[in-house]
Structure 1
Amino acid sequence: MTLHDVARVAGVSIKTVSNVINAYPHIRPATRQRVEAAIAELGYVPNLTARSLKSGRTGAIALAVPELGLSYFAELAASVIEAAEAAGLVVLVEQTGGDREREIDLLRSPRLKMTDGLIFSALGMSEADVASLSVDYPLVLLGERIFGGPTDHVTMRNVEAARAATEYLIASGRRRIAVVGAHEGEVVGSAALRMQGHLEALEAHGIPYDESLIGYTTLWHRSNGARSMTELLERGVEFDAVFGLNDTLALGAMRVLQVSGRRVPEDVAVMGFDDLDEAGYSIPSLTTVDPGRAWIARTAVETLVERIAKGGDVGPARLQLADFRIVERESAVAEVAQRV
């Protein structure tokens, strides 16, 4: 089957069929529907190789994340794929393990020549590696490891969101708020920024900082949250709330609290960060921060598509920040009266 066959069945021009296949935005929905129906009826498959040679584009983008085993990155990848499909693109997913050398190697990898651009969530790299982001293809950066680089950057408001999370706990009457997931010595990164927001909230409400309430970890898995909470309990630290710096940490910590006989939220309120799908189905369901993951994925794809369409030249690099909201569920409630 050819473009001519599709155009004949759909009753449109060959150019219109081509525009639909290439995801041209300014096509009437009814026309697009007729063309897509004709493609499905005829079983037409575009010759992607010929398309690539003619346009200089592959119709594919790459997404690099540290670890798909972490729910946040799995859900982020799903959102990126959904947004890319809406733009007529396929996504090749790379997993870096959060290793600095693997991340830098990926930025120089010849595999990227099979794509039109890269959405890159760095974890192992730091601001000392900013020069590695100067590449000759469209690139959108995610995450909190490098700021002020030469490329578009789409990320979340970590400090403000973490401050709002702690203020929510304070407003519910909690004063001894343990933190699970801090990274010792970190200056730039998700943990450091969320800790900054937590400390700002304590200071604003006149609550002294207590180092004994901080649970340090390395990775942000459930097991790390559970281990950190176990250590806090074994040290005999008194607290009436826990702020997990991500949902998986909070869920691991909450499990240990329940096994220890502490009631959630009556004895200890628990707050997470990320609003993972599983957070709504834990027992009790997890109060958390929605940092705008879906918006981040959609905006990253839209920004990359814009760069690709204009040959990478659409002005200076932009920093785009997502809005956030507190998602109240059972593990932490706003009304002090609910504490018994």
Structure 2
Amino acid sequence: MAATLRDVARLAGVSFRTVSNVVNGYQYVSDATRAKVEAAIAQLGYQPNYSARSLRLGRSNLLGLAVPTLSIGYFGELASEIIDVARNRGYTVLTEQTNSSRERELDAVQGARRQMTDGLLINPLALTSDDATIFETERPVVLLGENVFSHKVDHVTMQNVAATQAGTEYLIGLGHRRIAFIGLADPEGASVGTSVLRTEGYRQGLAAQGIEHDPRLELSAGSWAYEDGVSAVRSLLSAGVGFDAVFAATDVLAMGALHELQASGLDVPRDVSVLGFDDLVEGRYTTPTLSTVDGGRRQIADIAVDMLLSRIESPTSPVAFREVAFSLIERKSTRSRL
């Protein structure tokens, strides 16, 4: 017969309630007690009955995740990490692509599928802070990304400005002075968002080191695809604008830039250093391997899932806003000119 919670409690020498607290992720259990219970669970091969727990609590143990697309590396890897974190917490994730469509983002928040899930994680691009009230629903929502900010909705995001400034100053510290930036914000577009914040960080990095930004070195990123990185480098080369480094607002753009630089006969990093942003797995296998800024994607997955589960358990607890830590990962696509 399958092991039960009471079997685990007897073997671990603790109460039934203590075992239940460990299984359900209750945080106020001592490390020693948790270790005893987990050892007993492993020895007996106990498997939690999530279906019974869901019926008892009136929950589905399903979480919704809405992202712009899974074909772009960042969102694909973020979705994978959120799915893994949720599975470790006993939840299944229903994932959908919104394709940055306002209609589909609204449907993700307000549509019939919301009745199937206990909560929603969403990274909106078409919706803005003007739409913030739609996220104040009975079923919890945690916002991801930079397009919507509300003091009434839980939110996890990156330190985009600080991280991009740090990347710019890293390149300057290597001796680069003509740093091209791919990812320029549309001057007539939104006042918030990834491109706005990363453009700001790039300019702040230059200013902090006493370097005046040259508008000719700032290039738009189009749809932020590989070919947009290619096009940006082609524009620089055809215009005859001198540059000794490229900082791309995403690894995908950086890999497109890297490809075009090499196709044009330039050596990376001897002639031009290339720095990306996102720390995608693919960047570890380019030639040369891609230096990048890790904005904290893995932390976002951990924190966002835990934040949503906490909101499910405690609907009236204070709203939380978290910016995750970033780090700079130096590989072979950058080198010192000093």
Structure 2 length-normalised TM: 0.89
Q: How many angstroms does 1:290 deviate by?
A: 0.9
**Counterpart residue identity of residue 302, structure 1:** D
Query: Which secondary structure does the structure 1 equivalent of 2:293 belong to?
Result: strand
Q: Deviations over 1:174-212 (max 9, x none)?
A: 111111122322321101100001111222222222211
- Per-residue CA deviations over 1:134-172 (Å, capped at 9, x if unaligned) read 211111111010123420111010001101111111111
Alignment correspondent of 1:204: 208
Q: Equivalents in 2 of 1:259, 1:104: separation in Å?
A: 43
Q: Offset of 1:308 from its aligned partner?
A: 1.1
Residues 183 and 199 in structure 2, CA contact (< 8 A), matched pair in contact too: no
**What is the alpha-carbon distance in structure 2 between the residues aligned to residue 197 and residue 264 of structure 1?**
24
Looking at structure 2, the residues matched to 45 and 302 of structure 1 have their Cα atoms a distance apart, in angstroms, of: 19
Cα distance in 2, alignment partners of residues 267 and 159 from structure 1: 27
Contact 2:22 2:34 in 1 (8 A): no
Residue 297 of structure 2: aligned partner: 293
RMSD of the TM alignment (CA)? 2.3
Correspondence for 2:259: 255
- Structure 1 residue 10 displacement after superposition: 7.7
The equivalent of 2:317 in structure 1 is: 314
Match of 2:37 among 10, 17, 31: 31
Indicate the larger mover: 73-82 or 190-199: 73-82
1:120 counterpart (119, 122, 126): 122
1:221 deviates by: 1.5
Distance 1:16 1:161, change over 3 A: closer
- State the alpha-carbon separation in 2 of the partners of residues 259 and 60 from structure 1: 47
In the other structure, the counterpart of 1:63 is: 65
* 1:74 lines up with 2:80 in the alignment: no
Please give the per-residue CA displacement for 1:300-319, whole angstroms capped at 9, x wherever unaligned: 11111111111x1111x222
Paired position in structure 2 for 1:111: 113
Following the alignment from structure 2 to structure 1, what is the Cα–Cα distance between the partners of residues 50 and 247?
52
Partners of 1:3 and 1:18 within 8 A in 2: no
- SS of 2:277's partner is coil
Which structure 2 residue ranges, 5 or more long, are not aligned?
none
| Same amino acid, percent of matched pairs | 42
Cα drift, residue 9 of structure 1: 8.3
Distance 1:195 1:218 in 2: 14
Q: The residue matched to 1:332 in structure 2 has which SS?
A: coil
Label 1:234 to 1:305 Cα distance change in 2 as closer, same or farther (>3 A): same
Give 2:95's aligned amino acid. V
**DSSP-derived class of the 2:84 partner:** helix
Q: Deviations over 1:218-261 (max 9, x none)?
A: 21111211122222222222111111000000000110000001
State the partner residue of 1:217: 221
Aligned residue for 2:158? 156
Q: How far apart, CA to CA, are the structure 1 residues paired with 2:258 and 2:63?
A: 38
Query: Which stretch shows the higher mean deviation, 138-147 or 73-82?
Result: 73-82
**What TM-score, normalized by structure 1, do the two folds share?**
0.89
Residue 334 of structure 2 corresponds to residue 336 of structure 1: no
Give 1:282 shift. Answer: 0.9
Equivalent residue in structure 2 for 1:86, among 85, 88, 106: 88
Deviations 1:283-309 (A, max 9, x none): 111111011111111111111111111
Give how far 1:36 is off: 5.2
Deviation at 1:279, TM superposition (A): 1.3
Alignment correspondent of 1:46: 49
For these two proteins, the number of residue pairs brought into alignment is 329
